[in-house]
Chain A
Amino acid sequence: MKSKRKSGVLSKIYIALIMIFLYAPIAVMIFFSFNKGNTIVWKGFSLKWYSALFNDRTLMGALGNTLIIATLASLFATVLGTAAAIGINNFKGKKRAVIQNVSNIPIISPDIVMGVSLMLLFTFFGVLFNFEMGFATVLISHICFCVPFVVLNVMPRIKRMDPSLYDAALDLGCNQWQAFFKVVIFELMPGIISGFLISFTYSLDDFIITHFTQGARFQTLSTEIYALLRRKIPPTINALSALLFLAIIIIMVLINLRDRHEEKIKNGR
């Protein structure tokens, strides 16, 4: 019994150490976001970097671009990926294996190789059809690495679904589309949602692929910070990190509350 308690304490210490490792850098950034001075020497409390941040048009614009790209890319990828998963599910044997392996290429291949290869493609098309890389090419690239995640998340749901549900809907007078939107889609929903969320997260976080496909003028948050890191970093970045962290915490708590609420409803039944 005694050794068990001892190992329990050790476990707690271990988890605490890992958490310190994970959160110390973030805590330091948040701390310095309230610094009056513009170095890492503490000069007193101030909120001036926050107001500087909100007045920084380039950073705010880049943040806006990031959110737009993430929303559009993950929506588009979810639609394309869900349709693809249903279609691929009807292939059998070797054909299906080939399709799935090709679909997994963007997940397996290193980001930098994907970025470079898409850049080659876009410069080639750019010369051919006379356009420049920018918003559209970044969006397409993000869709590219998001779709495979949607396919991977939706596929198991299709396999687990009872096919007679779809047949029943048809028997009851639905046409194919109605059967899909009134019955099938609800069965697939958990997979669709997690595919969407993973896509959104990856899109928000991406730097490497955006870096190669952004062109001359279009900036997302990642590429904007990259540009800043090459010069002297303004402390507004600390304020930005602190706010992002706060936003993430709020979203996480909301998701958690929703999950608990759903669990309660389930248990109540």
Chain B
Amino acid sequence: MKSRKLSIPYLIWMVIFTMIPLVMIGVTAFTDKDGHFSFEPFINAFQYTNVFAKSLWIALLSTAICLVLAYPLAYIITKMKRSTQNTVIMLMMIPMWMNFLLRIYAWIILLQKNGPLDMALSLLGIHGTYIGNTAAVIVGMVYEYLPFMVLPIYTVMSKIDGGLIEAAQDLGSNSFYVFKKVIFPLSIPGIISGITMVFVPSASTFLVSQYLGGTDDIMIGDVIDKIFWTDQNTGAAISLVLMIFIFIFLVIMNLFGDEEAIA
């Protein structure tokens, strides 16, 4: 128990399968097709600036919507009976256990032309297309990642000491002030952790936009996937830029909350 030896297999593992691959991305990103040092991959990567901006925008919107939906939800759940709380949380988790691709496929069925939503709304006289646009991508993202926002906020909120709330009430706070002065500040670590857990995957995922979005909704993950099979250097350069963006984002998030919230 006092020995560090037990961690040696994992330390070796990390060097081979975490550090070396990252170094390889860095090296590949600065190499041209003939294997010479070059900035060419980054120059190629520049044509995708718009896609990059769009991905970050979609991720930002999805994260914001998740937060707006999840915060009241987490708050409501903490007000329920203990056993009901567990059931509701379990109900939130179940769709996450369905396969990632099946969840996207389910939305394709639901939103497609003459699909259930289209049918139901045309009965009311509303006609439109619900798939192949940015809104559909965002709905898909929110569906994929909403539980990642609810769970950390709920966990933090449910740990808030009831005595603090009572104390605030005794000191004359109405429920709005109790929320503003006690519950909200104490739930910030959960919010930070939720934002991180939703923003990082939604900025970098692929497929969601391929299947639910239109032609101009393509995201940076899709670009990496498309390019990497033919041009590894440019693919690696874009991956590196994405990684740096995510890293900056995490550092900023870190400034708002303590380290534990990120992990």
Residues of A within 8 A of B (CB): 11, 14-15, 18-19, 21-26, 28-29, 32, 40-41, 80-81, 83-88, 90-91, 99, 102-114, 116-121, 124, 140, 143-144, 147, 151-152, 163, 166, 176, 179-180, 184, 201, 204-208, 211-212, 221-222, 225-226, 229, 233, 237, 240-241, 244-245, 248-249, 252, 256
Contact = CB atoms under 8 A, between A and B. Distances in A.
A112 B100 CA distance: 14
B224 A116 contact: yes
Contacts of A19: 91
Interface in B82-128: 86, 88, 90-107, 109-110, 112, 114-116
B167 interface: no
Interface stretch (B3-11, B36-44, B156-164, B184-192): B3-11
Nearest to B246: A110
A209 B100 CA distance: 12
Interface of B is mostly: helix
Contact of B20 (A107, A121, A237): A121
Nearest to B72: A14
Contact of B21 (A83, A117, A208, A245): A117
B232 interface: yes
Contacts of A152: 263
A201 B97 contact: yes
A42 to B, nearest CB: 10
B201 A11 contact: no
Given A40-B114, A116-B235, A120-B236, A84 B9 contact: yes
A22 B20 contact: no
A241 B91 contact: no
Nearest to A104: B263
B24 A244 contact: no
A26 B115 CA distance: 14
B239 A117 contact: yes
B22 interface: yes
A107 B4 contact: no
| Residue from the set B102, B107, B246 with the largest chain A CB neighbour count within 10 Å | B102
Contacts of B5: 87
A116 B98 contact: no
Contacts of A32: 109
Contact of A11 (B1, B16, B76, B92): B76
Given A23-B95, A83-B9, A116-B25, A108 B250 contact: yes
26 contacts: A14-B76, A15-B77, A28-B106, A84-B6, A88-B7, A90-B1, A99-B7, A103-B10, A105-B18, A108-B262, A111-B201, A112-B221, A117-B21, A117-B22, A140-B17, A144-B18, A147-B10, A147-B13, A201-B97, A205-B96, A205-B100, A207-B101, A208-B205, A222-B101, A237-B102, A244-B102
B25 A29 contact: no
B25 A117 contact: yes
Given A121-B17, A241-B106, A111 B205 contact: yes
Contacts of B13: 80, 143-144, 147
B63 interface: no
Interface in B190-228: 200-201, 203-207, 211, 221, 224-225, 228
Contact of A87 (B3, B92, B211): B3
B24 A124 contact: yes
Given A110-B203, A205-B97, A120 B10 contact: no
B159 to A, nearest CB: 14
B188 to A, nearest CB: 20
Contacts of B146: 18, 22
Given A120-B21, A205-B97, A225-B101, A25 B206 contact: no
Given A11-B79, A86-B6, A113-B25, 10 more contacts: A18-B73, A29-B102, A29-B109, A84-B10, A112-B205, A116-B224, A152-B263, A205-B100, A206-B100, A233-B105
A205 B99 contact: yes
Nearest to A25: B106
A86 to B, nearest CB: 5
B248 interface: no
